[in-house]
Structure 1
Amino acid sequence: MWCAVPLAAVVQFALAVARTDPSTRPRAGLDAAGLGPVRMSLLAAASTAISCTLGSGVALLVCLELRGDLGGTPLSGSAERLLDGQAHLPWGATLTLLGLLPALASATCAVVLRPRREATAPQPPVDPEAETAAPAPKPAVPPTPKPVYTGLPWGIAIISVGLAMEAYVGRGPAPDPDTLLSLPGRTDGASPGVIGGWLLASLGLVLAGPGLTHWCGVLLSAGRPGAVRLLAGRILQDAATRIGRPLGVLCAVASGALAAAELYGAAWEGSGPRPFGPLTGLGAALVMACVTATAITAALDSRQSRTGTTAALQRLGLPASMLRGAAVLRTCVLLAVLTPLTWAIAELAALPMTR
Structure 2
Amino acid sequence: MLSLRVLKGSGPAAASRWLLVGLASCGTGLLLLGALGWALAHPNAGTSDAVVRLGWCVVPVVVTVQLAVAVARAQPAAWPRAGLDAAGLGRSGLVLLGAASAAVVCAAGSVVALPLFLLLRGDLAGGPYHGIAPGLLATGHHLPPAGVVTLLAVVPVAAGVTAATGRLGTGRRTSSDEPSGTPSGLPWGIALVAAGLGVEAGAPGGHDIPLPSGLGSIASAAAGGWVLAAVGLVLAGPGLVHLGGRLLAAFRPGAIRLLSGRALQQEAHRIGPPLGLLSAATAAAVSAHGLRPGHPLGHVTVFAATLVAVCVLAIAAMAAVESRSTRRPAAATMRDLAVSPAVLRSVLALRAGVLLVAFLLPALLVAAMSPKP
For normalisation by structure 2, the TM-score amounts to 0.72
Question: Distance between the aligned counterparts of 2:56 and 2:225, measured in 1?
Answer: 18
Question: Distance between the aligned counterparts of 1:70 and 1:151, measured in 2?
Answer: 50
State the Cα RMSD in Å. 3.1
Question: Distance between the aligned counterparts of 2:269 and 2:111, measured in 1?
Answer: 34
> Per-residue deviation at 1:90?
5.1
1:127 matched to which residue of 2?
A: none
1:35 is paired with a residue whose SS is coil
1:163 matched to which residue of 2?
A: 197
> Per-residue deviation at 1:24?
6.3
Q: Indicate yes or no: 2:354 matched with 1:336.
A: no
1:204 matched to which residue of 2?
A: 232
- Answer yes or no: is the 8 Å Cα contact 2:73–2:169 preserved in 1: no
1:306 is paired with a residue whose SS is helix
- Answer yes or no: is the 8 Å Cα contact 1:205–1:249 preserved in 2: yes
> Per-residue deviation at 1:178?
9.9
Q: Which amino acid aligns with 2:314?
A: A
2:125 to 31, 51, 71: 71
Q: Indicate yes or no: 2:60 matched with 1:6.
A: yes
Residues matched between the structures, number: 309
Q: Indicate yes or no: 2:213 matched with 1:213.
A: no
Q: 1:169 to 1:320 in 2, by over 3 A?
A: same
Q: Indicate yes or no: 2:45 matched with 1:17.
A: no
Q: Which runs of 5+ in 1 are unaligned?
A: 117-143, 184-189
2:337 matched to which residue of 1?
A: 316
Question: Distance between the aligned counterparts of 1:7 and 1:220, measured in 2?
Answer: 37
Residues 86-105 of structure 1: matches in 2 within 5 Å? 86-89=140-143, 91=145, 94-96=148-150, 98-105=152-159
Question: Distance between the aligned counterparts of 2:89 and 2:206, measured in 1?
Answer: 60
Question: Distance between the aligned counterparts of 2:90 and 2:261, measured in 1?
Answer: 36
- Answer yes or no: is the 8 Å Cα contact 1:24–1:44 preserved in 2: no
> Per-residue deviation at 1:283?
1.6
1:348 matched to which residue of 2?
A: 369
> Per-residue deviation at 1:198?
0.8
Q: Indicate yes or no: 2:313 matched with 1:292.
A: yes
Q: 1:200 to 1:225 in 2, by over 3 A?
A: same
Question: Distance between the aligned counterparts of 1:323 and 1:284, measured in 2?
Answer: 37
- Answer yes or no: is the 8 Å Cα contact 1:45–1:106 preserved in 2: yes
Greater CA deviation, 22-31 or 10-19? 22-31
Greater CA deviation, 82-91 or 190-199? 82-91
2:187 matched to which residue of 1?
A: 153
Q: Report the structure, 1 or 2, having the larger helix content.
A: 2
Max radius of gyration: which structure?
1
Question: Distance between the aligned counterparts of 2:206 and 2:87, measured in 1?
Answer: 65
Question: Distance between the aligned counterparts of 1:213 and 1:97, measured in 2?
Answer: 37
Q: 1:326 to 1:86 in 2, by over 3 A?
A: farther
Q: Residue by residue, what CA displacement relative to the aligned partner does 1:78-125 show, whole Å, maximum 9, x if unpaired? A: 546454234344546632553221121122112224689xxxxxxxxx
- Answer yes or no: is the 8 Å Cα contact 1:24–1:41 preserved in 2: no
Residues 139-288 of structure 1: matches in 2 within 5 Å? 146-171=180-205, 182-183=216-217, 190-262=218-290, 264-265=291-292, 270=295, 276-288=297-309
Q: Which runs of 5+ in 2 are unaligned?
A: 1-54, 171-177
Question: Distance between the aligned counterparts of 1:145 and 1:107, measured in 2?
Answer: 25
1:59 matched to which residue of 2?
A: 113
Question: Distance between the aligned counterparts of 2:182 and 2:87, measured in 1?
Answer: 39
Question: Distance between the aligned counterparts of 1:345 and 1:62, measured in 2?
Answer: 38
Q: Which amino acid aligns with 1:77?
A: Y
Q: 1:208 to 1:145 in 2, by over 3 A?
A: closer
Question: Distance between the aligned counterparts of 1:248 and 1:327, measured in 2?
Answer: 20
Q: Indicate yes or no: 2:59 matched with 1:38.
A: no
- Answer yes or no: is the 8 Å Cα contact 1:166–1:198 preserved in 2: yes
Q: Residue by residue, what CA displacement relative to the aligned partner does 1:46-91 show, whole Å, maximum 9, x if unpaired? A: 221222122223333333323322227xx97354645423434454
- Answer yes or no: is the 8 Å Cα contact 2:76–2:94 preserved in 1: no
> Per-residue deviation at 1:181?
6.7
Q: Which amino acid aligns with 2:193?
A: I
Greater CA deviation, 248-257 or 22-31? 22-31
Question: Distance between the aligned counterparts of 2:252 and 2:211, measured in 1?
Answer: 55
> Per-residue deviation at 1:30?
4.0
Q: 1:42 to 1:93 in 2, by over 3 A?
A: same
